[in-house]
Amino acid sequence: MDQQPNISDLTSLQGRVAVITGGASGIGLGVAARLAEAGAEVALLDIDDRRGREAAESLRARGLHASYYHCDVTSSSDCGRVTQQIISDFGKIDVLFNNAGVAIRKNTVELVEEEWDLALDVSLKGIYLLSHHVIPHMVAGGGGSIINTGSGWSFTGGPSAVSYCAAKGGVLNLTRAMAIDHGQHNIRVNCVCPGDVDTPMLRSECEQMGEDPEEFMKEAANRPLNRVGTPADVANAVLFFASDMSTWVTGAFLTVDGGGTA
């Protein structure tokens, strides 16, 4: 019988470079912390320079390896520039976590065209643009892992969220198509689908809907595991996809929602 690697080797990202979009706060920062704890050199991408720098500094203060890069994922030139900078700095990209997103809580009549474009450009087009620039480097390096952030609303509808639901539904099927195209290059592409996670974005949604965030969190806890999620809950799922725990998993999604869609 072949000797199996031990569990610490399977979960280790030592020597790997991980790129995280929307990395300044919320799920992105939580994932950056977990991947760095597993040994990765993490590159946090965001448009909020103050929060992004503070996030990277907070990780470095813990002895972790983290850098911040300004990147607008809706801009192909920005994505190309940042990709080249990271390759120049670290020589490779092993993991890409496409997490940047926008949640605009309006229905079809209320939503204006510019808001539709923003939501789709950040949450869906941004995955395409950054992956477009990163994948050739993964191919040259012998493979990699791409994880896209979907949602529970990737496969169910939600109220007053047409652009968000459209984008996240697209993310799920984009993930499958990418997995088919790039499996031959040893690039795995998977999707993590969180439910309600206590993040600045979710609290912004509460404000948009005229709801008190604390009351919403209490109501949202009404699910089998009786609580809303944390960034760390999602980060553990992303670590699974990023690590050698999932070497034969691609084109898949993992719902992390405390049983909310059960």
Q: Angle at the Cα of 172 (from 170 to 174), degrees rounded to 5?
A: 65
How many folded domains does the chain comprise? 1
How high is the pLDDT of residue 25? 96
- Give the pLDDT confidence of 13-64 residue by residue, as tens digits: 999 999 999 999 999 999 999 999 999 999 999 999 999 999 999 999 999 9
Question: Would residue 255 count as lying in a domain?
Answer: no
259 in any annotated domain:
no
Residue 187: predicted pLDDT: 99
Q: What is the predicted pLDDT for the residue at 113?
A: 98
State the residue range of the domain holding 124.
8-247
From residue 256, how far is each of 80, 160, 228, 230, 234 by CA, in Å? Answer: 31, 22, 10, 10, 6
Q: Which two tokens stand for residue 209?
A: 């809907």
252 in a structural domain? no
State mean pLDDT over 222-227: 93
Q: Is residue 83 part of a domain?
A: yes
Q: Cα dihedral angle (149, 29, 43, 84), rounded to 10 degrees?
A: 40
Q: Which element (helix H / strand E) includes 182?
A: helix 162-182
More confident call, 213 vs 188: 188
Q: What is the pLDDT of residue 126?
A: 98
Asked if residue 65 is part of any domain, the answer here is: yes
Domain assignment of residue 254, yes or no: no
Options 68, 69, 128, 164, the catalytic residue: 164
pLDDT for res 1: 52
* pLDDT band per the 50, 70, 90 thresholds, residue 81: very high
Q: Does the pLDDT of residue 2 top 80, yes or no?
A: no
CATH classification of the domain holding 177: 3.40.50.720
In this prediction, residue 254 carries a pLDDT of 98
Whether 164 is catalytic is yes
* Within-domain flag for 32: yes
Q: Are 150 and 27 in contact (CB under 8 A)?
A: no
Q: What percent of the chain has pLDDT over 90?
A: 88
Q: Would you say residue 64 lies in a domain?
A: yes
